[in-house]
Amino acid sequence: MSSPPVRKFTSLSLLFHSPLGIRLFSHVDDPFLDDPLPREYVLYLRPTGPLATKLFEYWHQSRQVCGKNKAHNIFPHITLCQFFMCEDSNVGGLCEALQNAVSRWRETFPLPLPLELYTSSNFIGLFVEEQSAEIIKKFAADFASEATSKADVHVEPHKKQLHVTLAYHFQPSHQTVLEKLARSVDLKLGCDWVAAVYSRDIRFVNHETLRVMYPYTPQNDDELELVQGDYIFMSPSEQSNTSEGWIYGTSLATGCSGLLPENYIAKADECDTWVFHGSNSFLAVAASAGASLCDGAFRRRCQEEQGPGEALSLPTSVICQPLSMVSKSSRSCPQKRDLYVCRHGERMDVVFGKHWLSQCFDAKGNYIRSNLNMPPILPPRSGGYRDYEKDAPITVFGCAQARLVGEALLESKSVIDYVYCSPSLRCVQTAFNILKGLQQGNQKKVRVEPGLFEWTKWVSGNTLPAWMSTEELAAADLGTDTTYRPHLPASKLGISESYETYISRSCQVMRDILAECKVKGNSVLIVAHASSLEACTRQLQGLSARNSKDFVQVVRKIPYLGFCACEELEDAGIWQLVDPPILPLTHGPNHSFSWRDILYQD
């Protein structure tokens, strides 16, 4: 990340610009929290199950190949009504209206829903067959009538042809590629359709949605504090008086407005900031004494493979998760196998520089730390201390980071059946300290798997690191499994391997690990490198690999102890990213302090 651009004050008007607020239920310091501004609501049909998985795959592939088009702003859906206004106090009635309407139409809803691909020079979509579309429109009209009764709102049902938009407002040169990708979507895949209600803040309808990538502390009174993961609303009309490299925006988290550095944010999707209020499945039958799910092989399969998006019961209001995520709490299917992938902790050679060895080892090879964040002792190595140059340990704080993650997993009641890690010492130490935090340091052994090592192109020199053997690691009390036989021995790793080889190697090793643990355990923890969070999970989701340039950009954003979670779709052979069971770990830099240089006075 580059530093924020230098501010050039061309106008004082922005210094006195009134802050905009957004009214979301989690706001505390929003200056306009009590403004009586209703939100806009909409009713969508969202696909779930195998078809939804394929549509999300299309989303990712088309975005990679052709860049973002207007269809990417909102998840795959069929619009059932125009946006309408509703008072906050009536939202409960709105959700009740949805539940009642779905209950009445569940038996007549057309499943499977017949879809037909349509393409033109500026639009690609899946249109609902006319007879089925008429049934769905009658359902929408019934919901509109019920909503008027229960929530005192006016809902205008969608009168145009019902369809799922796949792409529009794309470059003409991209049409052939987008059509080819669209034709690869099997429209006969199993799918349940879920009716869901969302809302958005009417004041930011025409604003661009941006995601905060890096934290920023304001340097001037007119600047906006940025918190990583927050969203920013930007209006093009408010940018005329901004300096180059700066934009004017409003924070979703606080409702406050101000100037912010443009290189600290990235484009997001419009629906990332919407509020999800409730949904009902056309397959699910309300849970009650003696109630049972609908019969039929197709319906059972869809129910079991409930995919991205919605719960089958009517939930309370929650913030809609990003499209690539599936909240565990929002799914009604039984517990599936879990896969956790975690980056190692803070490493010595990054904190203290590549010459840290000369600071800590004397001519005889004796180790003496020169900073409290350096480990008190280091394990001996058969190749001598110079092997640490390519295989650095983690810092004291790196150990603490790892224990915090383990303690959080323990608090969340997460169960870890098997732990695998890269042969890098920093990864072994991180895995061991996570187990200590989990209070399983004596029960679980760490399986060292060379196939989990990062892209060998990033290793300096013509040789791979001289890693410590599992016996040496065990002798250093790092809890390694000396009986484990790797799926890919270190001798099989190539120097400066191609990107395609690295991705293929990571995917195959992951499949071997998951196959090995399929019967013996339900959850696997992988502790490896920043690149592993992407390389070890992407193809498991049925997605094609990114190009190497985009891959590097993703990896650069993953911090120490970056953590992701995957859940297996039952009987589908595909995994999905889900919300991790623990909170993220954020910390700030702490530069070296010398009292003599700063405080000592002659």
Please say whether the dihedral angle defined by the alpha carbons of residues 228, 230, 236 and 239, taken in this order, is positive or negative. negative
Q: Which residue has the higher pLDDT, 6 or 332?
A: 6
| pLDDT above 60 for 300 | no
C-alpha to C-alpha distance for 395 and 346, rounded to whole angstroms: 6
The per-residue DSSP string of 216-247 comes to: B--SSTTBPPB-TT-EEEE-GGG-TTPPTTEE
- Out of 158, 331, 343, 347, the active site residue is 343
Contacts of residue 240, Cβ cutoff 8 Å, sequence gap at least 6: none
Residue-averaged pLDDT of the chain: 84
| pLDDT above 90 for 329 | no
Residue type, 147: A
Check: CB of residue 388 under 8 Å from CB of residue 381: yes
Q: Where in the chain is the domain with CATH 3.90.1140.10?
A: 34-201
Q: Which residue has the higher pLDDT, 1 or 232?
A: 232
The model's confidence at residue 12, banded by pLDDT at 50, 70 and 90, is very low
pLDDT score for 392: 96
Phi, psi of 16 (to 5 degrees): -115, 15
The model's confidence at residue 579, banded by pLDDT at 50, 70 and 90, is confident
| pLDDT above 90 for 325 | no
Average pLDDT over residues 165-183: 92
pLDDT score for 560: 95
> pLDDT tens, 401-413?
999 999 999 999 9
| pLDDT above 90 for 572 | no
| pLDDT above 50 for 104 | yes
Check: CB of residue 356 under 8 Å from CB of residue 391: no
The model's confidence at residue 454, banded by pLDDT at 50, 70 and 90, is very high
pLDDT score for 388: 95
> pLDDT tens, 241-296?
777 789 999 999 888 999 999 989 998 999 989 998 888 998 754 332 222 223 33
pLDDT score for 573: 64
169 is catalytic: no
The model's confidence at residue 318, banded by pLDDT at 50, 70 and 90, is very low
Instruction: Classify domain 337-346+393-578 at the CATH superfamily level.
Output: Phosphoglycerate mutase-like (3.40.50.1240)
Which of 220, 266, 173, 199 has its CA nearest to residue 40?
199
| pLDDT above 90 for 164 | yes
| pLDDT above 80 for 567 | yes
The model's confidence at residue 602, banded by pLDDT at 50, 70 and 90, is low
Q: Rounded to 5 degrees, what angle do the CA atoms 342, 346, 352 make?
A: 160
| Of 76-90, 117-131, 217-231, 275-289, minimum mean pLDDT range | 275-289
Say which DSSP state 139 is in. H
Q: Which residue has the higher pLDDT, 282 or 302?
A: 282
Structure tokens at 443: 């029960």
Q: Where in the chain is the domain with CATH 2.30.30.40?
A: 203-273
| pLDDT above 90 for 586 | no
Q: Directed axis angle between helix 175-183 and helix 50-66, to 10°?
A: 160
pLDDT score for 420: 98
The model's confidence at residue 165, banded by pLDDT at 50, 70 and 90, is very high
Most confident residue range from 282-286, 440-444, 587-591: 440-444
pLDDT score for 308: 34
pLDDT score for 442: 78
The model's confidence at residue 32, banded by pLDDT at 50, 70 and 90, is low
- Out of 27, 46, 344, 546, the active site residue is 344
The model's confidence at residue 301, banded by pLDDT at 50, 70 and 90, is very low
Q: Which fold has domain 203-273?
A: SH3 type barrels. (2.30.30)
| pLDDT above 70 for 332 | no
Q: Which residue has the higher pLDDT, 21 or 105?
A: 105
Contacts of residue 328, Cβ cutoff 8 Å, sequence gap at least 6: 567, 578, 579, 581
The model's confidence at residue 6, banded by pLDDT at 50, 70 and 90, is low
| pLDDT above 50 for 312 | no
23 is catalytic: no
pTM of the model: 0.52
Q: Where in the chain is the domain with CATH 3.40.50.1240?
A: 337-346+393-578
pLDDT score for 242: 79
| pLDDT above 50 for 330 | no
Average pLDDT over residues 427-454: 94
Phi, psi of 199 (to 5 degrees): -140, 160
Which of 530, 538, 521, 523 has its CA nearest to residue 577?
538
403 is catalytic: no
User: CB count, 10 Å around CB of 289?
Assistant: 4
Please say whether the dihedral angle defined by the alpha carbons of residues 395, 554, 488 and 479, taken in this order, is positive or negative. positive
Instruction: Region of 323 please: left (phi>0), alpha (psi -120 to 50) or beta.
Output: alpha
Q: Per CATH, is 34-201 categorized as 1.10.150.120?
A: no
> pLDDT tens, 360-399?
999 888 999 999 999 999 999 999 999 999 999 999 999 9
- Out of 347, 381, 529, 546, the active site residue is 529
Average pLDDT over residues 84-113: 92
Percentage of residues of the chain with pLDDT beyond 70: 84
C-alpha to C-alpha distance for 321 and 305, rounded to whole angstroms: 19
pLDDT score for 578: 85
Q: How many residues does the chain have?
A: 602
Check: CB of residue 41 under 8 Å from CB of residue 94: yes
